[in-house]
């Protein structure tokens, strides 16, 4: 390679790398980037759905991998959920959540199927390349029930704590139900992994400090339906 080709080559490579970094940067980038409203993020949009509806002990998490499908990490979701980036039709995980044959539909009865909104989020994530991307999805200056607490519980708890047979007999689907456990201390107890409470969400890492801070501020505020 002569000097000119080498120069051209390095400029080209730098250009490519820069461009690539720009687009896929979120890989392990942490939660410090602001969320782009047009992007679907693995950390805040996809993983909570999978955690609460699929990566459950006895199913595809907590040491169980039914049918060889382990849905506890990004890598295992892509690999054993057989996800093909940009192709929902070629992705097994998408197939089973949209299956019309009720015997094959996931999650299986008596669990509720995923909502149309949850399915649309997973489809959009696959169509955007099924990336392991993340963004800062939490601001602890925002701690109202409608903007912070309700969505937090919906994303991280409702998969198990809803439907005809909610886990532990505890239903967390609306303000009145959530308020019972907020005022008893159980909500903070389980989320903050306090002694005497079962750590929640079950089987997955603790919610991040920002979410716990939002919850604390809402509790300090007197558990308002705001």
Q: Interface with ligand HEC by CB under 6 A: which residues?
A: 51-52, 56, 153, 156-157, 159-161, 167-168, 170, 181, 186-187, 190-191, 197-198, 200-203
CA atoms of 154 and 138, how far apart (whole Å): 15
Q: How far is the CB of 49 from ligand HEC (least distance, A)?
A: 10
Give the nearer residue to ligand HEC in terms of CB position, either 208 or 221. 208
Give the nearer residue to ligand HEC in terms of CB position, either 70 or 202. 202
CA atoms of 77 and 89, how far apart (whole Å): 16
Give the nearer residue to ligand HEC in terms of CB position, either 88 or 157. 157
Give the nearer residue to ligand HEC in terms of CB position, either 130 or 157. 157
Give the nearer residue to ligand HEC in terms of CB position, either 127 or 173. 173
Q: Are 137 and 214 in contact (CB under 8 A)?
A: no
Q: How far is the CB of 177 from ligand HEC (least distance, A)?
A: 11
R_g of the chain computed on alpha carbons: 20
Q: Is 46 left (phi over 0), alpha (psi -120 to 50) or beta?
A: alpha
Q: How far is the CB of 139 from ligand HEC (least distance, A)?
A: 18
Q: How far is the CB of 14 from ligand HEC (least distance, A)?
A: 44
CA atoms of 112 and 164, how far apart (whole Å): 9
Q: Which of 161, 155, 131 is nearest to 207 (CA)?
A: 155
Alpha carbon separation from 199 to 58, 144, 202, 213 (Å, rounded): 18, 23, 6, 17
CA atoms of 134 and 103, how far apart (whole Å): 34
Q: Are 116 and 49 in contact (CB under 8 A)?
A: no
Q: How far is the CB of 179 from ligand HEC (least distance, A)?
A: 12
Q: How far is the CB of 48 from ligand HEC (least distance, A)?
A: 9
Give the nearer residue to ligand HEC in terms of CB position, either 116 or 165. 165
Q: Are 14 and 6 in contact (CB under 8 A)?
A: no
């Amino acid at each position: 390679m002569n000097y000119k080709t080498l120069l051209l080559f390095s400029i080209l490579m730098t250009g490519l790398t820069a461009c690539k970094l720009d687009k896929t940067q979120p890989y392990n980038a942490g939660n410090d980037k602001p969320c782009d409203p047009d992007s679907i993020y693995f950390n805040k949009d996809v993983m909570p759905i999978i955690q609460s509806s699929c990566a459950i002990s006895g199913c595809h998490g907590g040491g169980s991998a039914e049918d060889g499908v382990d849905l506890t990490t990004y890598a295992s979701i892509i690999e054993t959920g057989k996800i093909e980036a940009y192709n929902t039709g070629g992705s097994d995980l998408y197939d089973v959540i949209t299956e019309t044959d009720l015997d094959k539909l996931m999650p299986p009865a008596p669990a509720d199927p995923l909502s149309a909104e949850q399915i649309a989020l997973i489809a959009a994530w696959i169509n955007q390349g099924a990336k392991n991307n993340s963004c800062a999805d939490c601001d602890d200056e925002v701690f109202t029930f409608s903007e912070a607490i309700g969505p937090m519980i919906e994303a991280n708890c409702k998969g198990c704590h809803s439907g005809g047979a909610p886990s532990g007999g505890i239903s967390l689907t609306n303000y009145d139900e959530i308020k019972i456990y907020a005022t008893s201390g159980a909500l903070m107890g389980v989320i903050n992994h306090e002694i005497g409470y079962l750590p929640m969400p079950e089987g997955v890492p603790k919610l991040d400090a920002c979410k716990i801070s939002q919850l604390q501020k809402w509790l300090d505020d007197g558990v308002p339906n705001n």
